[in-house]
């Protein structure tokens, strides 16, 4: 049975937050001035973190909430925010009676946009209803709309996965190198480190030069040579790649031969 809060004039009620990052780390915080342990999670005292208004609706409109706070607690480090460890993390906000430790969840969702200022940060939260805002009607496109090795593609990701050790790290170029790697097939692919400060975070490969892969997000200091990583090849979603490289043109989810929007702006050219 869900506890009833604010039934009397004076109650020991505090708010709490639980954050479950994609790298497997779970963190708990509370607005109380002392740490509270309940629900199997230790909630650290973080009175500087406060929730703004939480809006919940009974219809299909997406619920909204924000959490603002100061970068004061050791568990929330600025380097971790920059490293993207909180991107897409699951978050839960609720109320807890700091005397009886009875609690109830008021909001749950995922971390969206993170805005940082000089003295703190603001996290936009996205509820599960936000998935209903996606356009479910396929649109025509010259390239494949399916995620590589995802729904509609039919290819198994296990065929294109490999485990390799980091040979060198170039922080200035934001790239990593792997011995014996032909990088061209990994453009638009994924690199996921199995150790170091950004363990579990998925990086996209935006460019390659030989065995050197250039990544889409900044590398955090501390990544060492010899760190193991899981690499998955990429796909540029063109029909030529789908046919000649993967032999999967039958499942191509695009319309490469339809005229584009520029057809309306074309002018006839005189015959030579």
Domain CATH code at residue 239: 2.40.30
What is the b/e burial string over 49-83, where b = at least 16 CB atoms within 10 angstroms of the residue's CB? bebeebeeeeeeebbbbbbebeeebeebeeebbeb
Q: What is the CATH number of the domain that holds 93?
A: 2.30.110
Distance CA 194, CA 211 (A): 19
Is 261 among the domain residues? no
Is 266 among the domain residues? no
Q: Which residues contact 238 (CB under 8 A, 6 or more apart)?
A: 143, 144, 256
Is 243 among the domain residues? yes
**Per-residue pLDDT reduced to its tens digit, 172-200:** 999 999 988 877 899 999 999 998 888 88
Is 234 among the domain residues? yes
Tell whether 29 and 119 lie within a shared domain. Answer: yes
Q: Which domain holds residue 94?
A: 13-131
The structural domain count of the chain equals 2
Pick 7 or 69 by higher pLDDT.
7
Question: What's the DSSP call for residue 118?
Answer: S
Tell whether 113 and 173 lie within a shared domain. Answer: no
Q: For a pLDDT cut of 70, what percent of the chain falls above it?
A: 69
**pLDDT given for residue 23 in this prediction:** 74
In the chain, what's the furthest Cα-to-Cα distance? 89
The tokens for 258 are 């339809």
Is 164 among the domain residues? yes
Tell whether 163 and 108 lie within a shared domain. Answer: no
CB 69 within 8 A of CB 46: yes
Is 74 among the domain residues? yes
Is 150 among the domain residues? no
Nearest to 16, CA basis, from 99, 91, 113: 91
């Amino acid at each position: 049975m869900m506890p009833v809060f604010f039934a009397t004039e004076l109650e020991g009620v505090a708010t709490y937050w639980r954050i479950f990052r994609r790298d497997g780390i779970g963190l708990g915080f509370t607005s109380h001035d002392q740490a509270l342990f309940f629900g199997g999670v230790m909630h650290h005292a973080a009175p500087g973190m406060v929730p703004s208004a939480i809006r919940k609706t009974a219809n299909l409109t997406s619920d909204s909430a924000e959490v603002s706070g100061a970068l004061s607690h050791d568990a929330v480090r600025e380097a971790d925010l920059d490293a993207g460890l909180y991107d897409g993390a699951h978050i839960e906000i609720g109320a807890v009676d700091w005397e009886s430790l009875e609690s109830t969840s008021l909001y749950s969702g995922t971390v969206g946009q993170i805005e940082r200022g000089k003295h703190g940060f603001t996290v936009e939260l996205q509820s599960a209803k936000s998935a209903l805002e996606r356009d479910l009607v396929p649109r025509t496109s010259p390239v494949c709309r399916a995620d590589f090795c995802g729904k509609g593609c039919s290819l198994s990701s296990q065929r294109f996965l490999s485990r390799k050790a980091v040979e060198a790290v170039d922080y200035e170029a934001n790239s990593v190198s792997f011995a014996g790697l032909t990088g061209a097939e990994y453009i638009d692919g994924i690199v996921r480190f199995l150790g170091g400060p950004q363990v579990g975070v998925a990086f996209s490969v935006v460019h390659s030069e030989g065995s050197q892969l250039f990544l889409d997000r900044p590398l955090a200091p501390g990544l060492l040579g010899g760190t193991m990583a899981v690499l998955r090849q990429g796909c540029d979603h063109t029909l030529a790649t789908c046919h000649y490289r993967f032999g999967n043109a039958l499942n191509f989810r695009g319309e490469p031969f339809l005229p584009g929007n520029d057809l309306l702006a074309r002018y006839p050219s005189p015959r030579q």
